[in-house]
Amino acid sequence: MAEPINGTVTVNIDEKYMTAHIVVTEPLHGGKPVTEEEARRTVAENGIRYNVIESAFDDIFKGGGYGHSVLLAKGDAPVDGENGYLKYYFEQASAAVIKEDEFGNVDYRDLGTIKNIKQGEVIADIVPETPGKPGKDIRGVVQNQFPGKPAKVYSGNGVAVSEDGTKLIAAVSGNLRWNKDRFVVDDVLTISDDVDLSVGNIDFIGDIVIKGNINEGFVVKAVGDINVFGNITGASVTSESSISVRLGIINSEVKAAGDITASFCENSTIESNGNCTAQSFVSCTLFSNGNLTAKGGKSAIVGGKYTCLSDVEANYIGSDTYIRTIITLGNVAVLAEEKIEHEKKLKEYNQQLEQLNLVCETLQKQKKAGQLPQQREEMLATSIRAKFGHMKAINAIKARIADIEKEINGNNDLKVKVNRAIFPGVTIRINNSRLTVSDKKTTCKIGMNDNREIVITC
């Protein structure tokens, strides 16, 4: 007869104490079986006390799972923290993007290489690191996690971290560009060569410095100043501030809210809300809200139409070829037209005010005689409000008319100063008066006398 063999219990634990398996064998030949109590005692003796799977004992002792390795316990692995990072709202690439219109046409001058950004605008969110979560092995021993690392924040020129430390923002308004490993914001856009097909059209929120030329067919716009080291040729240039051109403006349209200065201007349309200054203006159509000055040894205004709301000065005006040159000073015509429109409105408001006064007087008399119906009470209140509104508008119109009259009278001091010579073919208009030069005059001033006639004083 075979010798009895008792049942056995074995607990297998991995080297990191994160899992444990139990194996219970059946007795053979009448041997003694392992009880659940003995199995639990063995588990305890192995130090297993955390996340013990109770169903493992049922699987073995009630479900007949003898001889099988049954998962007994499983620890909680630590969860490492995640590193912080930057969540960008702009593409890091600076490649040109060719755009098509609805008909599939492509303008190769419009490359979209400038990324305008306003001060305070968010460039990226700084996503913080996470601490992670500690774990615990099957003995109940805490297993430490590795916390995440803070985001590497690179703030280039013109970029700052927000006060709460959660964002990268533009510290200035300008051009946003990617430089190696970070964004920078240039408040001055510098073009190191010509504005051509390699650069494309420019529409910038700050100042622009162009160290070459602005070539034919290109458009340059800026909120700030535009400074061109070369020529502007056959281009359109607009600034909400001032424009300075070291060389010339040729066959171009140039407009500025401030001053415009250049070495020379030829066959161009120029509009300035400030002063216009160059050594020469040839065959231009020009408007200046300030002074028009041609200065330098051979400074001249030759050919074209020039409208200036202040004074004009040049060494030479016109030429000995009698080229047609028209200079208009002052804006009396515009002001006079505005005055007429205001006077029409004033007449309309006065007529309406008379009617409102009549309505108010009539309703107030009726109210004194007896109670007014609700509808007429509302009419009286509306009429009174309209009356005061008209009186306010009338006072504002009268004030503007007075300002216009003052400005018109002040325009009598406008003058053209000729340092060398003015030639036949030149027409001078000051306010509503006009003078055509019939013969060459040297070193003179042209202005209005007390009779509001244009006279030349040599």
Query: Residue 113 corresponds to which tokens in the numbers above?
Result: 């290489």
CB 371 within 8 A of CB 351: no
- Split at pLDDT 50, 70, 90, the class of 103 is very low
Going by C-alpha positions, the residue among 58, 60, 55 that lies closest to residue 23 is: 60
Q: How far apart are CA 216 and CA 235, in angstroms?
A: 5
pLDDT of amino acid 39: 87
Predicted structure pTM score? 0.68
Share of the chain above pLDDT 70, in %: 93
pLDDT of amino acid 180: 86
> Maximum CA pair distance of the chain?
151
pLDDT of amino acid 195: 94
412 or 97: which leads in pLDDT: 412
Q: What is the pLDDT of residues 49-97, one digit of tens each?
A: 999 999 988 888 888 888 889 999 999 999 999 999 999 999 886 555 5
The full 3-state SS of the chain, as one line of letters, equals CCCCECCCEEEEECCCCCEEEEEECCCECCCCCCCHHHHHHHHHHCCCCCCECCHHHHHHHCCCCCCCCEEEEECECCECCCCCEEEECCCCCCCCCCCECCCCCECCCCCCCCCEECCCCEEEEEECCCCCECEECCCCCEECCCCCCCCCCCCCCCEEECCCCCEEEECCCEEEEEECCEEEEECEEEECCCECCCCCCEEECCEEEECCCECCCCEEEECCCEEECCCEECCEEEECCCEEECCEEECCEEEECCCEECCEEECCEEEECCCEEECEEEEEEEEECCCEEECCCCCEEEEEEEEECCCEEEEEECCCCCCCEEEEECCHHHHHHHHHHHHHHHHHHHHHHHHHHHHHHHHHHHHHHCCCCHHHHHHHHHHHHHHHHHHHHHHHHHHHHHHHHHHHHHHHHCCEEEEEEECCCEEEEECCEEEECCCCEEEEEEEECCCCCEEEEC
Q: What is the pLDDT of residues 198-250, one digit of tens each?
A: 888 999 999 999 999 999 999 999 999 999 999 999 999 999 999 999 999 99
Q: Tell me, rounded to whole angstroms, the distance of Cα 295 from its chain centroid.
A: 37
CB 141 within 8 A of CB 17: yes
CA atoms within 13 A on the CB side of 383: 19
Q: Inform me whether the pLDDT recorded for 108 exceeds 50.
A: no
Instruction: Over range 306-321, report the average pLDDT.
Output: 93
For helices 332-369 and 374-410, give the axis angle rounded to 10 degrees: 160
Q: What is the pLDDT of residues 147-185, one digit of tens each?
A: 999 999 988 899 999 999 999 999 999 999 998 889 999
Q: Inform me whether the pLDDT recorded for 332 exceeds 80.
A: no
Q: Inform me whether the pLDDT recorded for 99 exceeds 60.
A: no
Gyration radius of the chain over CA positions: 44
Going by C-alpha positions, the residue among 414, 425, 417, 419 that lies closest to residue 283 is: 425
CA quadruple 62, 64, 70, 74: dihedral, nearest 10: -10
Residues 6+ apart with CB under 8 A from 21: 11, 12, 69, 70, 71, 72
The chain-wide mean pLDDT, for the chain, equals 89
Q: Residue 361, Cβ neighbours under 10 Å: how many?
A: 11
pLDDT of amino acid 288: 94
Going by C-alpha positions, the residue among 178, 240, 162 that lies closest to residue 205 is: 240
